[in-house]
Amino acid sequence: MHLKRWLTSIVLLPLILLLIFRGGEALFFFLIAAANLLVLAEYGRIVYHPKPDPVYRTLSYGLGTLLLWYGFQANFAVVALLLVLTFMAAAMICLVRFGTDERAVDRLFRQTAGMVYGPLLLLCLIWLRRGEDGPSWILVVLCLSFAGDTAAYYAGTMLGKHPLAPKLSPKKTVEGAVGGLLGAVGAAAAVKAFLLPAVSWPAGLAFFFLAAAAGQTGDLFESSLKRTAGVKDSGELLPGHGGLLDRIDALLFVAPVVLAAKLMIG
């Protein structure tokens, strides 16, 4: 399993970096759009386990793709409208399918939350990619997410003694979390030093720390979803990692914080 994780990363990481730095904004949009469909599929697999819900999945695919497209076009009014329409459509489906059944409200909010968890959080990456320094900010996100995850794994394996959240993820430790924070901030600081020199060190490090903490929250949040549903992995797409959502659960929470950093201090 450990070897598979490294082999998958070694194969995919250079391709992702090449696309980010040389592919342009349009190609990056299509990458995120494809990732969005996978994330929505895996999210649906978790929250509607053990019975898939093709009605809600179809609604998510359609409106989620439109949300990304209009976000890419910077049409913020339509983005907001699509979120409202998602809620309204999910409400109407609930009325038709469930009526007064106790599952009605639960299904409504699972569907609406999925549009925020997938398309809206991924849209932050599209906005972050804008501008000449966009690829560098995307690299900051990758460092905060993946370097933090790797550092947390090794720190937890070698030093871990105190459980962090035993009910959500029994293997995670406080020592691993601290190691993950240090590794994430250190990797992001290296990117800032070489590619984002205009960003001030105090503000940059403060945002990197917040983003790294947000990433660990995202990791635990997905663990909570899976444990509640009784699902081990979100999918089987990436050998050694599970599904795409298992690999980018931290990244989804890191991206909005880094976007805030770019807008405020970039």
pLDDT of residue 11: 60
pLDDT of residue 95: 87
Proportion of the chain in helix, strand, coil states, percent, rounded to 5: 80, 5, 15
DSSP string, 164-179: EETTTEEEEEHHHHHH
In this predicted model, what pLDDT tens digit does every residue of 234-262 receive, in sequence order? 876 766 557 899 889 999 999 999 999 99
Q: Alpha-carbon distance 158 to 171, whole Å?
A: 12
pLDDT of residue 181: 97
Using the Cα atoms of residue 169, residue 173, residue 174 and residue 177 in order, give the sign of their dihedral: negative
Mean pLDDT of all residues in 163-191: 92
Q: What is the mean pLDDT of the chain?
A: 90
- Could you tell me if 31 and 19 are in contact, meaning their C-beta atoms sit under 8 angstroms apart? yes
Radius of gyration of the chain from its Cα atoms, rounded to whole angstroms: 19
**Vertex 235 angle, CA 233 and 241, to 5°:** 65
More confident residue, 11 or 202: 202
More confident residue, 96 or 14: 96
Domain ranges in the chain are 2-265
In a 10 Å sphere around its CB, with 0-12 CB exposed, 13-18 middle and 19+ buried, how is residue 45 labelled? buried
Q: Alpha-carbon distance 249 to 35, whole Å?
A: 12
Alpha-helical (H) ranges within 48-173 are: 54-72, 76-97, 103-115, 121-128, 134-142, 148-159
Q: Alpha-carbon distance 168 to 226, whole Å?
A: 9
pLDDT of residue 1: 46
Q: What are phi and psi of 157, to 5 degrees?
A: -65, -40
Cβ count within 10 A of residue 7 = 12
pLDDT of residue 97: 85
